[in-house]
Amino acid sequence: MEGNDTTGTDFQLAGFSMTWKQEILAFFIFLLIYVLTVVANILIIALVRLDRSLHKPMYFFLSNFSFLEIWYTSCTIPKMLSDFLSKKKSISKNGCIVQFYFLFFCGAVENLLLSVMALDRFVAICYPLRYPAVMNNSMCVRLAGGCWVASCLVVLLPAVPLSKLPFCGLLMIDHVFCDFSPLLRLSCMRNSLSEISFLFLAWVILLGSFILIMISYIFIISTIVKMSSAGGRHNAFTTCASHLLVIFLYYGTVLFIYVRPSAQQTFDLDKVISVFYCMVTPLLNPLIYSLRNQEVRTALKRMINKLRGLKRKESMFSL
């Protein structure tokens, strides 16, 4: 088996089966999505930082979430864009492992942040009187920091053993980026520490976060239903609706890919679904949070009015 080890060469990415004209069209579509995603998420971060009305725990976590989405898309789309314009879609082994690490690091952070955001809504709705004391600035920073630091460490468990695996045969990754299962198919070894730790983390982080979120929302919905005020019920549902929509968009795709028997893997379908959760959901998330949230829309209008006021003053001084 050692004689067939070809780890010294680059990996080839199969990508999508498209003609040259289709790849050019895909390049511009993906580029537009990437630019819109980055701009939309930067706008949310700027709004949260500049508008005092958004200096609340919910929007602090939302700004973390938007910062994460920028990095999430940046792990994959720039490489995909270059591949659309290149006939040789190659990536070095080290580059592939680095992409794998940062992709799943961002994925782990997203799971944990969604859990923390659900916890924030649980405390705000189920224990409103204790909310200011529990979700203070110090607690928010610790929860958000914990998500980033914990994810940074746990993803090392599969990434480090994966980097040491020998790879054999034709090093063609049947995917658009360095995902775990297509990489593992090229390895000379199976049932490795990397495979075991990845499956364990996938089940614990993905399913664990999803279960915690669902439990939180069971209590949240039961509390909302018991509210005597119709206005209070409407406000509570509106606050939670955006978060729930993001959760179902994300987990509907990710659970399908990473928490299922390996025998059911269909990489052509996985490519399409992976593009959805790596590209489409990071673009939809800021739109969902901004369009469905009255406070964010109001803050955006204030920012636009301020910019208009500054332009008017500049034009007056120029005259």
* Beta partners for residue 13, in sequence order: 173
Q: CA-to-CA distance for 120 and 58, rounded, in angstroms?
A: 7
For the cut 70, the answer to whether the pLDDT of residue 151 exceeds it is: yes
State pTM to two decimals. Answer: 0.86
CA distance 159 to 111: 18
* DSSP-based three-state secondary structure for 50: helix
92-145: pLDDT as tens digits = 888 889 999 999 999 899 999 999 999 999 999 899 899 999 999 999 999 999
15 part of a folded domain? yes
Residue 1: inside a domain, yes or no? no
The answer to whether residue 13 is domain-embedded is yes
Give domain status of residue 2, yes or no: no
Inter-residue contact 295 to 54 (CB < 8 Å): yes
Question: H or E element: which one contains 11?
Answer: strand 11-13
Report in angstroms the alpha-carbon separations of 69 from 37, 76, 155, 293.
Answer: 8, 12, 18, 19
For residue 156, give its domain range. Answer: 9-318
- For residue 166, give the DSSP letter: -
267-308 pLDDT per residue, tens? 567 777 777 778 888 888 887 877 667 788 888 888 888 777
Domain count, the chain: 1
3-state secondary structure of 200: helix
Calculate mean pLDDT across residues 240-267.
70
The fraction of the chain above a pLDDT of 90, given in percent, is 28
User: Within a domain: residue 4?
Assistant: no
Is residue 260 in some structural domain?
Answer: yes
Residue 3 lies in a domain: no
- Between 38-47, 147-156, 266-275, the lowest mean confidence (pLDDT) is in 266-275
* 242 within some domain: yes
pLDDT of residue 86: 83
What is the rounded CA–CA span in Å between residue 217 and residue 122?
A: 7
**CATH (domain of 38):** 1.20.1070.10
